[in-house]
Amino acid sequence: MIRSGFKGFIFDMDGTLLHTLPDLAALTNIVLEREGYPTRTEDEVRTFVGNGVLSLILQAVPQEISEEKAQHAFKMFCDLYDEYGIKLTKPFDSMEETLRTLKAQGIKLGIMSNKFEAGVREVEQRYFPGLFDVSHGEAANIPRKPDPTGLLVCAKEMGLTPDECVYFGDSHGDMLAGNNAGMYTVGVTWGYQPVEKIKQGNPAELIDSPKDILNFA
């Protein structure tokens, strides 16, 4: 039976709130082309998403290159993100309506992504202005998920305890992070990881539509 009555709803971003894959693939290939490396298909990039930009780039570049060159490609991706990173991105169907309904009910809303924090803030303000109470990405004081630190920071900034929060994500790592934080953790099936992979992170529930998010209010 689905639990309800949560006061805080926290979301992963890529593959959960937003369909970002076309932009991630396009920008990855811009970086690869400029560095003289072979490009990747969108399906390949899909398998690289979920553990932050550095992980994406480390998987996308040729494996034989030096760490210094890989770090250079990572920096280029971040530097070009404002220009190329959000041209094709859009919220998943019914997502904005769902968030507005939750907001109207007085529920606190947060984002915790493995994307670098400046990128998270920019995307949030472009697509969901005024909707989220807190938003965080990877930063000096916030390690990538499945470390629970970012989720715990979100809960604290909302003035809530972890067990008052539900966390939604589309990856195995998201499920581990939510469970590590002591939050009710829900896997979404419209994102970028196969359902069987998500299940390995032991979600409390799986949902198939953004409208299903409302069942936890």
Question: What's the rounded Cα separation, in Å, for the pair 83 and 80?
Answer: 5
Q: Is 165 helix (H, G, I), strand (E, B) or coil?
A: strand
Question: What's the rounded Cα separation, in Å, for the pair 73 and 29?
Answer: 11
| Backbone phi, psi, residue 3, to 5° | -80, 150
Pairing of strands 8-11, 18-19: unpaired
Question: What's the rounded Cα separation, in Å, for the pair 158 and 141?
Answer: 18
Q: Closest Cα to residue 20, out of 92, 77, 82, 128?
A: 92
Q: What angle do CA 79, 129, 180 make, to 5 degrees?
A: 75
For the stretch 137-143, contacts whose Cβ atoms lie closer than 8 Å and that sit 24 or more positions apart, written own/partner, are 137/13, 137/111, 137/112, 137/113, 138/52, 138/113, 138/114, 142/117
Q: Which residues carry out catalysis?
A: 12
